[in-house]
Each structure stands twice: as structure tokens, then as C-alpha cells.
């Protein structure tokens, strides 16, 4: 490898981010593949949200690509853009290794009690219906920065999830078989009674493609706000109330899975940039010992401790750095192959 620099390709549900990451974890953002100097790149790491049963970082082979394609029906907002970005990256950099790093990998430690749905055996054993969990790269970085034994990470952005982390390992999370489950998001519904969905299909009120589109693109903050905007800054009072209620409730459930709470982290777009949302969630969690300092919360930029004086739980803002975790995983895989 020239100097160990990895190009990280992060095709999210709302953006495409490219970073050159050095072995020292210095990251340089790039606007497009046209800005990449091939001589600088030793490998390409692709953040992939859902790989089905694939969890560990893997070279992009035909079998791995087929698994990502097969899982696209479960994560259409993520896997399809990722596959398009893979095609573009391979065309731009055909001579270097390309590695898939899966968002589900960090959640492989979730115990059976948290990962198992109460559904028939054939669903679980033959069809792979289980909780996978997502946002793993983001949660792993937050856990490394927070260094708390009992930690809850609120990844609040285009997609939102709440994860319980015990001694650095994921033990429960709100997203499940797909990134649709859990708390409401900008355009995704989060958890909805399956009976309501069956009713809409049974009565012919919606066809399956329309149901999928509306759950993925027209729900969440967008579905609850005038004009259908998923932007937290334009959200209606009801949308904010629902969002705060569900997120705070999910944090409480995560604390129960941990047997208590030592630290709470806010990360990703909303988590990092919306002091009002953080304050409202924290207020709902005062019973757990969460309290934020108003001035520190309002001034938080990048990594910051916003804990209130005397609070028994540390509250932190952590800037998401998924690219660093992905680059490390790619280097580790390629180094292991040469041993």
C-alpha cells in the first residue's frame, strides 16, 4: 500500500460523501471522484448499510456484490446508492482493492434476547428474519470517543436510531430487520403497528409499491409537517413532539437493557446541530439523571461535553466520523490477507 491512505465512499440515504483517510486518521473531504488522485489511494472502503448475513468487512467480489444487491429490498434508500457508488469508484480506481464495510457489523454482538423477533421458527431460521441493527460505524466511533461502560448513542439524522452499548459492545438497538424500524426519521415512519399495514393492504387502500414508498419517503417528520418537509428546522410542533417522545422513550428502553446509564451521546446531523432537540430529549430524561447545561448545549460545535452541573449522566455531542472506522476496517482486512 503506498502510504495506507484509504478512499472512503459513504453513500447514505441523503448524501454521497468521499474522504481520503490517512493511517493517522486525518480525513480530507473530496467533492467527487474526479478529485481523486489514483496514486494517493491504496484501497477503497465502501460503507454498505445492509449485507444480509455478511457482517465482517469483505473484499468486493461477485458474491459480496450479489449479497448487497439481494439486501437492497430491505434497505432501498441505502444499498442502491451504494451499489451505484461502487460502480463509479471501481471505474475510477480499478487497480486498487475495494472493500465493503457493513453498518450491521458492530451490532453482531447483540444477544439473542434482543435480536430475536417473536415470530414462527421458519421466519427466523429459513428466512433470516432478525434484528440486524444499523448505523454501526457511527455508533462504534461514538463509543470510542465517549468511553463509558453503560452508553446510549442517539444517531439522529436522515435516519435515526438509538443503541445501547455495554463495555464497547452493542447489546440492543432500535433499527431491526431493516432501517425502517425504530424511532421516526426525516422521511421514514419508524415502528408502526403491523396490523395497520395489514389493514391498508387487505382493504385495498394501498398497493405494496405505494405502501413502501410512503413508509420510506413520505412519513416521519415529513409526514407530520406542513408541506412534507423532513427538515427538523421546518418540522411542525406535532412532528417535534412525536420525535422527542419516541427518541426519549427509546433511550429509556436502552438504559433498561444496560441496567443503568453512565453517558448519553448525540451524533449525526440532527444530533450534532439541533440544540433544541437535544434539550427537549434531555428534559424528558431527567429521571435517569440526564441534564444539559443550556450555554454549553447552545454553543456545542464538533465534540463537546454539554452535561449540566451535578448531572449523574454525562451528555456528549460527538461529531460522526464513519469514514475513520471504515478506513480502519479496510486496512485491517487487507493487512490480515498479507500475513
Q: What is the distance between the alpha carbons of residues 177 and 182, in angstroms, rounded to a whole number?
A: 10
**Cβ count within 10 A of residue 95:** 6
Beta strand 6-11 pairing with 16-21: antiparallel
φ, ψ at 315 (rounded to 5°)? -120, 125
- Catalytic one of 3, 25, 87, 103: 103
Nearest to 174 by CA among 248, 224, 240: 248
303 included as an active-site residue: no
Q: What is the distance between the alpha carbons of residues 38 and 315, in angstroms, rounded to a whole number?
A: 41
Task: Name the residues annotated as catalytic.
Answer: 103
Amino acid at each position: 500500500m503506498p502510504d495506507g491512505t484509504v478512499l472512503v465512499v459513504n453513500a447514505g440515504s441523503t448524501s454521497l460523501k468521499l474522504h481520503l483517510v490517512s493511517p493517522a486518521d486525518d480525513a480530507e473531504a473530496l467533492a467527487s471522484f474526479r478529485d481523486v488522485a489514483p496514486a494517493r489511494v491504496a484501497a477503497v472502503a465502501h460503507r454498505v448499510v445492509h449485507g444480509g448475513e455478511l457482517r465482517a468487512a469483505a473484499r468486493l467480489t461477485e458474491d459480496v456484490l450479489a449479497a448487497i444487491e439481494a439486501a437492497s429490498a430491505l434497505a432501498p434508500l441505502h444499498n442502491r446508492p451504494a451499489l451505484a457508488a461502487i460502480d463509479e469508484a471501481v471505474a475510477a480506481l480499478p487497480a486498487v482493492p475495494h472493500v465493503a464495510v457493513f453498518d450491521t457489523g458492530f451490532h453482531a454482538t447483540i444477544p439473542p434476547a434482543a435480536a430475536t423477533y417473536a415470530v414462527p421458527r421458519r421466519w427466523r431460521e429459513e428466512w433470516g428474519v432478525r434484528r440486524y441493527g444499523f448505523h454501526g460505524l457511527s455508533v462504534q466511533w461514538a463509543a470510542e470517543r465517549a468511553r463509558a461502560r453503560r452508553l446510549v448513542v442517539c444517531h439522529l439524522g436522515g435516519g435515526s436510531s438509538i443503541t445501547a452499548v455495554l463495555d464497547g459492545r452493542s447489546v440492543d438497538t432500535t433499527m431491526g430487520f431493516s432501517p425502517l424500524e425504530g424511532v421516526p426519521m426525516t422521511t421514514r415512519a419508524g415502528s408502526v403497528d403491523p396490523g395497520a399495514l395489514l389493514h391498508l393492504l387487505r382493504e385495498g387502500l394501498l398497493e405494496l409499491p405505494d405502501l413502501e414508498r410512503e413508509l420510506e419517503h413520505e412519513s416521519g417528520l415529513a409526514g407530520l409537517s406542513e408541506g412534507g418537509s423532513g427538515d427538523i428546522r421546518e418540522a411542525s410542533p406535532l412532528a417535534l413532539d412525536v420525535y422527542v417522545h419516541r427518541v426519549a422513550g427509546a433511550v429509556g428502553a436502552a438504559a433498561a437493557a444496560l441496567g443503568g446509564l453512565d453517558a448519553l451521546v448525540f451524533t449525526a446531523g440532527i444530533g450534532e446541530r439541533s440544540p433544541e432537540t437535544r434539550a427537549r430529549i434531555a428534559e424528558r430524561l431527567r429521571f435517569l439523571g440526564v441534564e444539559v447545561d443550556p450555554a454549553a448545549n447552545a454553543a456545542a460545535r464538533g465534540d463537546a461535553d454539554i452535561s449540566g452541573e451535578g448531572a449523574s449522566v454525562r451528555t456528549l455531542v460527538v461529531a460522526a466520523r464513519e469514514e475513520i472506522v471504515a478506513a480502519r476496517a479496510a486496512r485491517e482486512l487487507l493487512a490480515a490477507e498479507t500475513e
